[in-house]
Amino acid sequence: MDTMTSKLRALALAEPIFVVGMGASGHVALDLLREAGYDAIGLDERLDERRIEKRDFDDPQAFAGAGTLVVSPGVDRRRAAFTHSYAQQINDIELFARLNDKPVLAVTGSNGKSTVVTLLAQALNHAGHKAKLCGNIGRPVLDALFDGEAADCYVIELSSYQLELCPSLYPRVAAVLNVTPDHLDRYDDFAAYAAAKANLVRQSSICILNGDDEACVAMAEDGQNIIYYGTSATLPNRVEGGKIWLHGHALLETARLRLGGAHNHANILCTLLMLEAYGVAPQQVLSALETFAGLPHRMQLVSEENGVRWYDDSKATNIGAAAAALAGIDGTVVLIAGGVGKNQDFSLLARELQQANLRGVLLIGVDNRDMVAAFTAAGIAFEDCGTMDKAVARARAIAQAGDSVLLAPATASFDQYSGYDARGDAFAYEVTSTCR
């Protein structure tokens, strides 16, 4: 056994180990546990293959006899198999935390996580620190830990699900970007969702919090060393007047940034504060931050034809993200929205739309009853186009020079697509094949 595998074996986890949910992180965890000599099997509700057993997680006896459950983030632990199990429940983040001896920079929030962790990792590497990017952004943390490559630190994106079962994770620096209603199909209420996010504040040595966000501010009492940022003129760390201010001093003109949108400028400020708390001076990384163009499907400019700009923000899978996207665009907008609502309160989105400068609202998706009801009650005019090709064609017909067409669905995509990326790709295809 190599050193890390030996350390995993030395954790002496109670056996047998059931790895519950066989997504990417589940497969990596199962392989590593078996390599370390543990009696481990994978359980899934859909897969039934070698080393993986198909189980019904609503069956109270599904986990009978288990010593440890390693739970994947996509599995809802409110189900009967979990509530009737006496096994210890952990996740791959917890295994990582027990094994890792390098500093961790961690980020959570309803929106903007992937942008901030990518900025962090690129800036750290630019400044000479070997940073590995992993977690909810796509690469399982155990894959990054066990790949045999040296690291000075780990930059981890964390969802609320991942923060439920990792009490041994103690980041050197963490950030909570915002907390808006999301994933309410997985939580009993907004308070439960926010409480999962708050675990990161409680467990970090230094935590950067969005001072404009009431839910973030409420978490501060659980933290040790809190640093605020936002847009208020009373905050020493703020985005105001086209500038990023750090400790009361203007550091950077936002016009120099390739990354557009007020919310993204706040993300850059948060990144700077995290880097500074870690020990990297802002002057070491400004050039890397200035040239960062953003991630796919996040306010990505797809095309500009006949004076109309077409933006793909398919990653806006909740109301807060869609509202931020709308606020970041100057001028009149044609909004394309709709999909799987995740039990969100769409009256909140209707309220945002009442304040926006809209040319039209076009709906896609097959699961829009709640959105339609909220828009109708609020007097928001909309057209239910159903499919992306029809929505793009209609947007092209009504948009005028100077307008922006924005795909910001405020929903998940699984009623029509395999994920937000496939939805964004479909939008880009329709736009580029018709804008000519």
365 annotated as ligand-binding = no
Contact 362, 336 (CB under 8 A): yes
Instruction: Copy the structure tokens of residue 101.
Output: 């001896």
Question: Which domains, ranges and CATH numbers included, belong to the chain?
Answer: 13-90 (3.40.50.720), 94-291 (3.40.1190.10), 300-430 (3.90.190.20)
CA 26 centroid distance within chain: 19
115 annotated as ligand-binding = yes
Q: How far apart are CA 264 and CA 285, in angstroms?
A: 17
What pLDDT does 130 receive?
98
Q: How confident is the model at residue 181 (pLDDT cuts 50, 70, 90)?
A: confident
Name the active-site residue from 27, 132, 183, 315: 183
**Percentage, residues of the chain above pLDDT 70:** 99
Residue 113 is a catalytic residue: yes
114 annotated as ligand-binding = yes
Whether 293 has a pLDDT exceeding 90, the answer reads: no
What pLDDT does 50 receive?
76
| Distance between first and last Cα of the chain | 59
Q: What's the pLDDT tens digit per position in 49-93?
A: 778 999 999 999 999 999 999 999 999 999 999 999 999 999 999
Contact 135, 142 (CB under 8 A): no
357 annotated as ligand-binding = no
Whether 314 has a pLDDT exceeding 80, the answer reads: yes
Name the active-site residue from 113, 265, 315, 342: 113
Residue 91 is a catalytic residue: no
Q: What's the pLDDT tens digit per position in 187-234?
A: 999 999 999 999 999 999 999 999 999 999 999 999 999 999 999 999
**Arithmetic mean of pLDDT over the chain:** 95
Please spell the DSSP secondary structure of 164-215, one letter per residue.
GS-TT---SEEEE----S--TTTSSSHHHHHHHHHHHHHH-SEEEEETT-HH
Residue 199 is a catalytic residue: no
Edge-to-edge strand list for the sheet holding 131-135: 131-135, 153-157, 104-108, 173-176, 206-210, 225-229
Q: Which helix (H) or strand (E) holds 322?
A: helix 319-327
What pLDDT does 355 receive?
94
242 annotated as ligand-binding = no
DSSP label at 299?
S
Please spell the DSSP secondary structure of 69-82, one letter per residue.
EEE-TTS-TTSHHH
Whether 183 has a pLDDT exceeding 90, the answer reads: no
Q: How confident is the model at residue 434 (pLDDT cuts 50, 70, 90)?
A: low
Q: What's the pLDDT tens digit per position in 357-379?
A: 999 999 999 889 999 999 999 99
Closest CA to 161 of 51, 12, 21: 21
Edge-to-edge strand list for the sheet holding 249-253: 238-240, 243-246, 249-253
